[in-house]
A and B are shown apart, each in its own frame.
Chain A
Amino acid sequence: MSAAMRNPAAKPEAAQGPVVAVRDLRAWYRLRLFGVDREVKAVDGITFEVRKDEIYGLAGESSSGKSTLVKTIAGAMRPPLEIVGGEIQFSFMDGTMGLNRAPADLVERVRWRHLSYVMQGSMSVLNPVRRIGTSFFDFAFRHMGLDNAGFEAAVVAHLARVNLPASVLKAYPHELSGGMRQRVTIALATICRPQFIIADEPTTALDVVVQKDVLAMFRSIQREMASSVLFVTHDMGVHAHLTDRLGIMYAGRLVEEARTPDVFARPRHPYTRHLIHSLPRIGDDRPRIGLEGTPPSLANPPSGCRFHPRCVFATERCRVEVPPMEQVAPDHRVACFEKDRVEATP
């Protein structure tokens, strides 16, 4: 299968099938402090899929659970984070339910070869006491099937794509700037050309010019391999440029999902509308309307629609019932009782 994936000309038949399908996923932080239990429901009932050959974006305000969601998909849970319910199904791991339930040797084979992950805050993912070159060796050598010289040449060539000189291989992490470290991490995650790349805020520490290059690299690697990328950022501008489809998260739930242009052109959820209207636009001098109220507590979330305390469209029903995620157009789902009224409002 991997041989087929390497050849960009031979697109697999099921090109539009999902690379990962997530169903009703719930992942909570369960804390117990001196006998008092506390549950932070950071991912609470999310269903979506990432298709082959696409870049899927995830947006939402800080602490809406984006990182928790991708952490769970990448199998990077650590206590106190636990999967409480739901399923994660990968195309390259038939019949197993996610990384945390698959046999260890399978997981080991899949990681980096088929699935790689750029953690948020990638400043600290490099071993501080080893040179960068050894990290590349540890992570990628056994997947590449090359001899030492060939491997090094491949690494150097790949580093060049993120504008890094070969000399960083000899450096220790603390000798690099934050932006350089972030690019090293991206290079580390993409060098094996996996089918599925999860990237959590990979460009936040980069200046605009480098950010453009890195985004272009993501796009070109994805095209070249017909692979899939799950890309998290709260920067709606980045989503507009990069992603094919976009999911919007609010307080641990997915509230809207559509093709990226549709999200920007026809947002149906009040929260999505707020996100888009708060984007700065050239030549637009209307004051930005801020969101009323405070972000919800995930330990004790609001009843019904979690957005209702801050929503201008909210009705009595929103306070009690949880709005289901519903298809409103091809590839467009929304979780809002008042979606038609929202669309009708200019």
Chain B
Amino acid sequence: MRAYARYAFGRFLQFLLVVFIGINIAYIITHATPIDPVEHTVSVATAFGHTAPEAIESMRQSLRELYGLTGSPIEQYLNFWRRVLVADFGPSLSAFPSPVSTLIGRAIPWTVGLLGVATILTWIIGNLLGGLAGYYRRSRILKGFGIVAMALHPMPYYIAAIILLIVFGYLWPILPISGGAQMNVARDWSFEYVMSVARHSILPMLSLLLVGLGGWFVGMRSLVSNVVTEDYVVYAELAGVSKRRILTAYVMRNAIAPQVTGLAISLGHIFSGALITERVFGYPGIGSLLVDGVHAGDYSLVLGLTTVSIVGVSLAVLVIDLIYPLIDPRVTVN
């Protein structure tokens, strides 16, 4: 137990470090800009005819602090952090005067729902099939699957998405190719709405699965084929321990550990994935929000999304780190 506490504390420090370094990178980058974002933004906002003076003032203030233009350098830096910590990025330009945090809050469930579920689903299916393929080397079906997965694996995600879109959008239009749910359905927890959300998620989900499966499959298959030659597996087989128990408790349990670390890393790529998936399929998550923000020149929104992604990813990794000792008890030792 003490070992676990020490381990958990270490992981927590690592989490803080990730957030700290990540947000500092964002700070440095925003300060590398050669144009004055504040006056640029304010002028765009007024040019569109937004004249509510207090909202403009509030935007100017938050931008000044986020971009560190008020006070001494140290004050600038601290103000930036204060804003980030309370997630107050001021009003957004593209949806003026809605606060950035509201926009992000609205988009996050879509992204986490689609990308989170897809990532975890891909991980489970890929590892399961890969593990079986590593254990039952002679199975024809699994071998065939391996070849398909290998061929799909190096394909850039964008391409896979486009192909699906062409197939199901133009050649054989049976699935919705854009949006998060049907527009004319009320957004509550009715059956109709949930079904519509599910149907809209099929294509993006499928595209993520297609491209993602191969990596897990190939990785797990080679992990398993290494683990089956480990002494403890050979020994359990010699002892006549049942095949099923060996496959689950000996082979898979040991092979899965590095894959769990991999899952943590790929959760980190959720936000990269979101950008393209949501762009291609017109999905209303934070990826689309980010692209729109960039095109609209919405500084506060872009910065807000960047910091939220950094914190969100680090949190996901922290959670996985904390449960990791259940999978491999050895990590708490060193």
* B294 close to A (CB within 8 Å): no
Q: Which of B80-88, B171-179, B224-232, B268-276 contacts A (4 or more CB under 8 A)?
A: B224-232
List A residues at the B interface (Cβ < 8 Å).
74-76, 78, 107-112, 116-117, 119, 121, 124-130, 134, 138-139, 172, 174, 188
The residues in B between 317 and 331 inclusive whose CB is less than 8 angstroms from any CB of A are 327-330
Q: Which residues of A contact B327 (CB under 8 A)?
A: 129
Q: How many A-B residue pairs have CB under 8 A?
A: 63
The residue in chain B whose Cβ has the minimal distance to the Cβ of A79 is B229
The residue in chain A whose Cβ has the minimal distance to the Cβ of B251 is A127
* B240 close to A (CB within 8 Å): yes
Contact of A138 (CB < 8 Å), options: B230, B241, B253: B241
* B333 close to A (CB within 8 Å): yes
Q: A119-B231, A172-B330 are in contact. List 5 more A-B contacts (CB 8 A).
A: A74-B238, A75-B238, A125-B231, A128-B232, A128-B254
Q: Which residues of A contact B234 (CB under 8 A)?
A: 76, 78, 119, 125
B67 shortest CB reach to chain A, Å: 50
Q: List 7 A-B contacts (CB under 8 A).
A: A76-B238, A107-B240, A125-B235, A127-B236, A128-B232, A129-B257, A139-B241
Q: Which residues of A contact B232 (CB under 8 A)?
A: 124-128
The residues in B between 233 and 259 inclusive whose CB is less than 8 angstroms from any CB of A are 234-236, 238-241, 245, 249-250, 253-254, 257
Residues A108 and B240 in contact, CB atoms below 8 Å apart: yes
Contact of B231 (CB < 8 Å), options: A109, A111, A121: A121
Residues B330 and A128 in contact, CB atoms below 8 Å apart: yes
Contact of A112 (CB < 8 Å), options: B231, B240, B249: B240
B261 shortest CB reach to chain A, Å: 14
Residues A129 and B238 in contact, CB atoms below 8 Å apart: no
A121 shortest CB reach to chain B, Å: 7
List B residues at the A interface (Cβ < 8 Å).
229-232, 234-236, 238-241, 245, 249-250, 253-254, 257, 327-330, 333
Known contacts being A124-B232, A126-B232, is A138 close to B249, with CB within 8 Å? Answer: yes
A189 shortest CB reach to chain B, Å: 9
Residues B254 and A127 in contact, CB atoms below 8 Å apart: yes
Known contacts being A78-B234, A128-B330, A129-B329, is A112 close to B253, with CB within 8 Å? Answer: no
Known contacts being A78-B229, A121-B231, A129-B329, is A139 close to B236, with CB within 8 Å? Answer: yes
B144 shortest CB reach to chain A, Å: 23
B170 shortest CB reach to chain A, Å: 48
Instruction: Give the docked Cα–Cα distance between A139 and B232 (Å).
Output: 12
A166 shortest CB reach to chain B, Å: 20
Q: Which residues of A contact B329 (CB under 8 A)?
A: 129, 172, 174
Which of the listed residues A110, A129, A138 has the most CB atoms from chain B within 10 Å of its own CB?
A: A129
Q: Which residues of B contact A109 (CB under 8 A)?
A: 240
Residues B238 and A138 in contact, CB atoms below 8 Å apart: no
Q: Which residues of A contact B239 (CB under 8 A)?
A: 111-112, 116, 138-139, 188
The residue in chain B whose Cβ has the minimal distance to the Cβ of A198 is B238
Residues A129 and B254 in contact, CB atoms below 8 Å apart: yes
B35 shortest CB reach to chain A, Å: 55
The 6 closest A-B pairs by CB, nearest first: A111-B240, A125-B235, A124-B231, A108-B240, A139-B239, A127-B232
Instruction: Give the docked Cα–Cα distance between A126 and B329 (Å).
Output: 14
Q: Which residues of B contact A78 (CB under 8 A)?
A: 229, 234
The residue in chain B whose Cβ has the minimal distance to the Cβ of A116 is B239
Residues A138 and B245 in contact, CB atoms below 8 Å apart: yes
A218 shortest CB reach to chain B, Å: 19
Instruction: Give the docked Cα–Cα distance between A126 and B241 (Å).
Output: 13
Q: Which residues of B contact A127 (CB under 8 A)?
A: 232, 236, 249-250, 253-254
Instruction: Give the docked Cα–Cα distance between A109 and B242 (Å).
Output: 11
The residue in chain B whose Cβ has the minimal distance to the Cβ of A143 is B240
Residues B328 and A129 in contact, CB atoms below 8 Å apart: yes
Q: Which residues of B contact A172 (CB under 8 A)?
A: 329-330
Instruction: Give the docked Cα–Cα distance between A172 and B327 (Å).
Output: 12
Instruction: Give the docked Cα–Cα distance between A129 and B328 (Å).
Output: 6
Instruction: Give the docked Cα–Cα distance between A303 and B208 (Å).
Output: 62
The residue in chain A whose Cβ has the minimal distance to the Cβ of B249 is A130
Instruction: Give the docked Cα–Cα distance between A121 and B234 (Å).
Output: 13
A133 shortest CB reach to chain B, Å: 13
Residues B238 and A111 in contact, CB atoms below 8 Å apart: yes
Instruction: Give the docked Cα–Cα distance between A125 and B250 (Å).
Output: 11
B110 shortest CB reach to chain A, Å: 37
Instruction: Give the docked Cα–Cα distance between A124 and B245 (Å).
Output: 19
Residues A129 and B231 in contact, CB atoms below 8 Å apart: no
Q: Which residues of A contact B235 (CB under 8 A)?
A: 119, 125
